[in-house]
Amino acid sequence: VEDRIFCVPRYEFISSSEVFTGMFLLPLGPEVRVEGQDRENPILLEGYKKDEFASLLKVMYPTATSLISGTPPTLDLRLGKEEWVNVLKLSTIWNMERIREYSIHCLSTDFVVSPMEKIHLARAYKVSAWIKEGVTTLVSSAHRPTFDSLASLGWETAARILWIRD
């Protein structure tokens, strides 16, 4: 990913994603060098950022410290909001349903996500509940959204929100 080689076991990718299952389990001829078998022939994931991928790996391969923190021990991955958005992005693209649902849960419960952010994230990563939550909050809020923030939603959505408010 970008200029970095990540060396991780395949198992979680195969068990979490049909995309990677297909990639790793394709039948190959006897003379074919398989991508990802060694550092000299890595799997190239183009179009993604290494920090996005690192965020996903923190969820897929948690450390013992993150698994056993607190009393009683609980899962504490210590990811920030931006990291969870990275996890949501890649898990959506690569059809990692369990990870995707968990990232949606964590973003919904552990962080403040503004109505505008919810709408933008909902559109980008297909989280239908966030569209409803974001629009409902904007419509029922005592504070009128700014023109610039509404413009970022597109004229049709902005017009509908303002129409419902009035």
For 17-59, what is each residue's pLDDT tens digit?
Answer: 988 887 777 766 667 777 777 788 888 889 999 999 999 999 9
**Amino acid in position 46:** E
| Residue 26 belongs to a domain | no
Mean pLDDT value of segment 74-81: 81
At residue 11 the predicted structure's pLDDT band, cuts being 50, 70 and 90, is confident
Percent of all residues in the chain with a pLDDT value above 90, rounded to a whole number: 44
Q: What is the dihedral of CA 97, 5, 2, 50, to 10 degrees?
A: 50
User: Is the residue at 82 inside a domain?
Assistant: no
Answer yes or no: are the C-beta atoms of 92 and 48 closer than 8 Å.
Answer: no
Q: Look up the domain containing 153 and give its range.
A: 114-166
As for how many domains the chain has, the answer is 1
Average pLDDT, the chain: 87
Residue 44 lies in a domain: no
94 lies in a domain? no
Would you give the DSSP letter of residue 126?
T
